[in-house]
Amino acid sequence: MLHVRDLRIEIGSRVTLEGASFKLRAGDKVGLVGRNGTGKTTMLKVIAGEGGSAGGVVLRSDALGYLPQNPQTRGSGVDNTGLSHVLSGRGLDAAAQRVEKLRLRIEESPSDKDVAKFARAEEEFRDAGGYAAESDVRRIAAGLGLTDGRLDLPIDALSGGERRRVELARILFAGSELLLLDEPTNHLDNDAKEWLVGFLRQYRGALLVVSHDLELLDTSITRVLHLNNGDLVEYRGTYSQYITARAADEERLARLATRQGAEIDRLRHLADTMRGQSSKRAKTAKALDTRVSKLQTGRVTGPKREKHIEVRFPDPPRPGNVVLTVDGLTKGYGGPPVFTDVEFTVGRGERLLVMGLNGAGKTSLMRILAGHTTADAGTVDLGHNVSAGYYAQEHEGITSGSEVLGLLSGAAGLPIQQLRTLLGTFGLSGDIAFQDAGTLSGGEKTKLALAQLVAGKHNLLLLDEPTNNLDPPSRDAIGRALRGWPGAIVLVSHDAEFVASLEPQRVLMMPEGDLDYWSDDLLDLVALS
């Protein structure tokens, strides 16, 4: 299914993988883990054939399903709907269209030639499971939280999270022998996660998955590949077993590093005491120097302590008492409106959580508030001295071909040193400042997008799923920073822990547009939204 040998990957001048070799066979379920920025996403992209390597060999099955973190789903089906796109994973959308065209042709002119063509096309369609395909697609889509009504809409009318679900449904429906999935549970509610976990548990092909969803890793995999500082280390067993084994390895390495260091210091001291004495002792000192050199060559380094991440959002300019007024918003995409007559206000320093099931219009509302799309009816007014910053699910402001530092500089005219310091507070230090932004991992793009908001000195933040792709330490650090920030926030998130850390005052239920005061009793519903 997959054979990787001596793989080397470089991002700019940074080596993120060196000499990696491993195999995946049918039934293998492997989790690729590591902190944000270690190169997991780039490694998966190279393995999928979507990126180049600096060395090594990758042999993969032709029947490959690859889900990137931010799939640019534009619709490959014959009619550009979500349903047609999923069916195109096995070519059944085009096959159904061909059968229908041939059927209409023989109704008009039933020649022997056309009847034979129809018979062959219909037989191929039937043998490929074409007549059961639509029900299979709808079953998979429903499991991932896409209702029939959403699946029948054009791809362009779906939110970023819904397009991601459609792409995942297409990959699962295609029946690939090898799945490469990068953060597959992003934008999924609890029910959809449970369904996906069950599907992957029963999947008979080979799976390589990158995920910060510990439940998925713990119940669906049999091996773990740990990527850190360019090294790939394999562990057998579940994620929980990997955590235990990794801790034991780090403890063993720490003890060994301490013993080696003590022995090197002892031999150096002994050699120093013999120098400048008799020729025999000088010769012994030289031999000891040789032993020290050999020990240093084979010396192990103890596990590096995880960096403590502390993010700080500077105080924003002070706005008026009311920062946002929304009146009578209505939005649709050619069919029935997604939501109608939504009204609310946001006060200075207030946190408003937008909740609702998939397809309820949360992202559509946020894009209207940010001025990225227009409403069918209604108005959005910013208050006095208000500057709004928008964090989009799809990292729309982070483009390939631009340096990280250049993108950040475009958000605010700050001196370069201040910008580099700001990047450092988000864990984006060193050469990353000069790296192509398109090569960043999903977690790094999230941090850069948030840094852009900070650099822009906004006092109203519109945040649409800001914790997707973040590892737990980064998510907690950003949650702490936002909690103490005095500006106003309108938030969409299915991360219950993150929502609790922000302590919202009110909640807007979509698509109804009902406003209510926040209660911790609603936390159980956050993961469903």
Tallying the residues shown for the chain, one arrives at 529
pLDDT given for residue 307 in this prediction: 56
Angle at Cα 498 formed by Cα 398 and Cα 503, nearest 5°? 120
* Rounded Cα–Cα distance for residues 19 and 41 (Å): 17
Confidence band, pLDDT 50/70/90 cuts, at residue 509: very high
Q: What is the Cβ-side half-sphere exposure of residue 469, based on CA atoms within 13 angstroms?
A: 28
pLDDT given for residue 74 in this prediction: 64
Greatest mean pLDDT among 183-187, 255-259, 319-323: 319-323
Which of the 8 DSSP states describes residue 154? B
As a whole number, mean pLDDT of residues 185-193 equals 80
**pLDDT at 489 exceeding the cut of 90:** yes
* Rounded Cα–Cα distance for residues 94 and 84 (Å): 9
Number of neighbouring beta carbons within 10 Å of residue 300: 13
pLDDT tens-digit map of 383-414: 999 999 998 876 766 777 778 887 777 666 66
Confidence band, pLDDT 50/70/90 cuts, at residue 321: very high
pLDDT given for residue 308 in this prediction: 58
The percent of residues in the chain predicted with pLDDT above 70, rounded, is: 94
Q: How far apart are the first and last CA of the chain?
A: 37
As a whole number, mean pLDDT of residues 205-218 equals 85
pLDDT tens-digit map of 230-244: 889 888 888 888 888
* Rounded Cα–Cα distance for residues 178 and 65 (Å): 6
Distances (CA, A) of 88 to 67, 159, 166: 16, 20, 11
**pLDDT at 302 exceeding the cut of 70:** no
Give 39's contacts (C-beta < 8 A, 6+ positions apart): 9, 11, 16, 17, 227, 230, 441
Name the token pair of 149.
Answer: 């009504």
- Reference 396, options 448, 358, 361; nearest CA is 448
pLDDT tens-digit map of 336-375: 888 999 999 999 999 999 998 877 889 889 999 999 889 9
Confidence band, pLDDT 50/70/90 cuts, at residue 73: low
Q: State the pTM of this model.
A: 0.69
Whether residue 511 is preceded by a cis peptide bond, meaning omega within 30 degrees of 0, is yes
The residue type of 89 is G
pLDDT given for residue 72 in this prediction: 63
Sign of the CA dihedral with 410 first, then 411, 413, and 418 last: negative
CATH number of 322-526: 3.40.50.300
Confidence band, pLDDT 50/70/90 cuts, at residue 103: confident
* CB 460, CB 319: distance < 8 Å: yes
* CB 322, CB 383: distance < 8 Å: yes
Confidence band, pLDDT 50/70/90 cuts, at residue 437: confident
- Reference 206, options 240, 245, 171, 177; nearest CA is 177
Distances (CA, A) of 60 to 57, 129, 208, 210, 255: 10, 26, 12, 18, 40
Q: What is the Cβ-side half-sphere exposure of residue 368, based on CA atoms within 13 angstroms?
A: 26
Backbone phi and psi for residue 207, each to the nearest 5 degrees, phi listed first: -130, 130
As a whole number, mean pLDDT of residues 100-112 equals 82
**pLDDT at 226 exceeding the cut of 80:** yes
Sign of the CA dihedral with 235 first, then 236, 242, and 247 last: negative
As a whole number, mean pLDDT of residues 474-502 equals 88
Sheet with 322-331, strands from edge to edge, namely 339-347, 322-331, 377-382
pLDDT tens-digit map of 474-487: 888 888 888 889 99
* CB 338, CB 332: distance < 8 Å: yes
Angle at Cα 438 formed by Cα 8 and Cα 417, nearest 5°? 100
- Reference 488, options 377, 384, 410; nearest CA is 384
Give 398's contacts (C-beta < 8 A, 6+ positions apart): 407, 437, 438, 440, 445, 448, 449
Enumerate the domain spans of the chain.
322-526
